[in-house]
Amino acid sequence: MHARVQWSGEGMSFLAETGSGHLVAMDGAPEGGGRNLAPRPLEMVLLGTGGCTAYDVVLILKRGRHDVLGCEVKLQAERAPEDPKVFTRIHMHFTVRGRGLRREVVERAVKLSHEKYCSASAMLEHTAKIEHSIDVIEVPA
């Protein structure tokens, strides 16, 4: 895996190119010299973690032939007050929608993501306590 990040030459904005050829802009807060035109780099880390675990949960449920119709993860993070301001706590709230989904099946998928598959969570748990909560919503046929 590889990526390239290049400073725009103005303020604190950067353009990143992923190894798969996708572009992502990042910018800093005005108080840090940025113009608030794009997500902060650490916000991208949090987003990536949410995407990583949501991907796992959906894939696990689909492979189990469960009728999953939606998956949303809301993340709330706390950071250390001093540099480096690492994440110290992350709460992930999963809302999974589907037909005939049992709560214990969704809980198992979230647990497998956290304990086995999500590389981002595995890295972040070295500095952050990661917690989960789950809502399962039945979608009528």
Summarised one tens digit per residue, pLDDT across range 56-110 is 999 999 999 999 999 999 999 999 999 999 999 999 999 999 999 999 999 999 9
pTM greater than the 0.85 cutoff:
yes
How far is it, in rounded angstroms, from Cα 103 to Cα 40? 34
Average pLDDT estimate for 107-115: 98
54, 71 Cβ separation under 8 angstroms? yes
pLDDT for res 11? 95
pLDDT for res 116? 97
pLDDT for res 101? 97
The amino acid that residue 136 corresponds to is V
Beta bridge partners of 20: none
pLDDT tens figures, 119-136: 999 999 999 999 999 999
pLDDT for res 128? 98
Q: Is 74 helix (H, G, I), strand (E, B) or coil?
A: strand
- Angle at which helices 41-63 and 103-112 cross, to 10°: 130
92, 50 Cβ separation under 8 angstroms? yes
pLDDT tens figures, 7-30: 999 999 999 999 999 999 999 999
| Total number of residues shown for the chain | 141
The amino acid that residue 89 corresponds to is R
pLDDT for res 82? 97
Cβ neighbours of residue 36 closer than 8 Å, sequence gap 6 or more: 27, 28, 29, 30
pLDDT for res 141? 84
How far is it, in rounded angstroms, from Cα 118 to Cα 108? 14
Average pLDDT estimate for 42-47: 97
pLDDT for res 113? 98
